[in-house]
Amino acid sequence: MEVARTSSRFIAPLLTLAVLSLASHCSLAQQSDKPPAVTIETILKAWHDRQQAAKSFHIEWKERLRVRPGEMGKKGGTEDPPDSDEMITFDDLAFSWTADGEKFRIFQDYVVGGETLDRQKTESAFNGTLYKTLQHETEHYKITQGTFLDSLEHVNIGECPHFLPLAIDLRPFSPIFEVIEKRKDRLTVTQQRELINGRESLLVIEEHDGNGAYYSIWVDPERDFVVTRLLFTVRGSVGAQYDLNDFKQIEGIWVPMGWTVEFRNPDGSNSISQAATVTKAEVNQNVDEEIFQFEFPAGTLVFKGDDHYLAREGGELRKLLREEMQGGYSREELLNSEPGELFRKRGEPAQKRWLWVVTANAVLAVALLLMFLWRRRSLRNT
């Protein structure tokens, strides 16, 4: 009996040690299978390094964009059948960028509703100082129009669904796009992982702003933390979803070769959806500086602030006066004259007629006054 008691005293501690050792071994095994924690500083540095590495790029792609008629103010509202959705085909889109002065050039050629009469061609360029846009004359738009800005203060290209996927991948900290730059202090890594487009991605959450809006960003840890999905949420409802896919490494930089975008109504239904396919991608190739400079074609109606101009050959802008814009003059007349010249010529006969009318009215008024005074005096004498 005493031997059994003595044995149990030694066996119990040994069993306890064995159980603790086994538990510790299992815990270490589980920890080794768990991916290491990622900090937001690591992700931001990877994004910054990729932006620094991409000194220039040129991307060309095509898009198909589907719009529900009710969302564009068309008749019929959002209850129209699916086959009534309006399809917009972007035959050519091109985006060129250089880090030297943050210059860029954008070209868009698209058809609305499959009708060639609704073809539209637009382009814009920023040369580091001036921003210009140009809408070419087509069968649908009978006049070429352009804008001229001294800054990009009111130009929000970074939020444009056509360019946001490229901006967040190649220029996340650009002072022009400001996709990540204005949010970097509100980002937190959740360590939550999810399969996005076949890639294990890590979730990064943005802290809510005052309006209850925030971004949810999924990144691929094995590909320099490129963004695979971007959700924009407002007051608990997903307003937009961007999915970037088919990444290709070009000059050591991961570039998305396609993406999809969905804009949703508060009830969760899609209002606008688009799909893009990249047809050409170049990174850190020689970029011709001339592409960031373009002159308005002669006859282009140019808007600059509250003023209106007509472009002449050689890039000269001829200011339009309000009286000239309302006077029914032809484009050729305005181009071949100076501000106010046509108005003054047309106004000379009218001014003479106006002078005669005023003079005649004044003489008549004086005559009536004299007659009134004479009759009044006659009545008093009577």
Q: What is the pLDDT, as a whole number, of residue 77?
A: 37
The two three-digit tokens of residue 372, written as one number? 């009134």
Q: What is the pLDDT, as a whole number, of residue 87?
A: 72
Is the model's pLDDT at 253 over the cut of 50? Answer: yes
Q: What is the pLDDT, as a whole number, of residue 281?
A: 95
- Higher pLDDT: 15 or 297? It is 297
Distance CA 160, CA 251 (A): 26
**Averaged pLDDT for residues 319-347:** 81
Radius of gyration of the chain from Cα atoms?
A: 35
- Higher pLDDT: 360 or 278? It is 278
Is the model's pLDDT at 142 over the cut of 80? Answer: no
Q: What is the pLDDT, as a whole number, of residue 69?
A: 59
Helix, coil or strand: residue 54 = coil
**Averaged pLDDT for residues 121-146:** 81
Q: What is the pLDDT, as a whole number, of residue 43?
A: 95
Contact by Cβ (8 Å): 239, 249: no
In this predicted model, what pLDDT tens digit does every residue of 2-61 receive, in sequence order? 444 444 555 555 445 555 555 555 444 444 567 788 999 999 999 999 999 999 999 999
- Higher pLDDT: 361 or 246? It is 246
Residues contacting residue 360 through CB under 8 Å, at least 6 positions apart: none
Contact by Cβ (8 Å): 275, 258: yes
Contact by Cβ (8 Å): 260, 273: yes
**Averaged pLDDT for residues 235-252:** 92
**Averaged pLDDT for residues 78-84:** 43
Is the model's pLDDT at 217 over the cut of 60? Answer: yes
Q: Quickly tell me which residue has 């800005």 as its tokens.
A: 149
CATH code matching the domain that covers 41-292, chosen among 3.40.50.300, 2.50.20.10, 3.30.43.10, 2.40.50.140: 2.50.20.10
- Higher pLDDT: 292 or 90? It is 292
pLDDT confidence band for 121 (50 / 70 / 90): confident
- Higher pLDDT: 295 or 282? It is 282
pLDDT confidence band for 75 (50 / 70 / 90): very low
pLDDT confidence band for 82 (50 / 70 / 90): very low
- Higher pLDDT: 325 or 222? It is 222
Distance CA 136, CA 117 (A): 13
Helix, coil or strand: residue 341 = helix
pLDDT confidence band for 295 (50 / 70 / 90): confident
| DSSP secondary structure letter of residue 34 | S
- The pTM for the full model equals 0.73
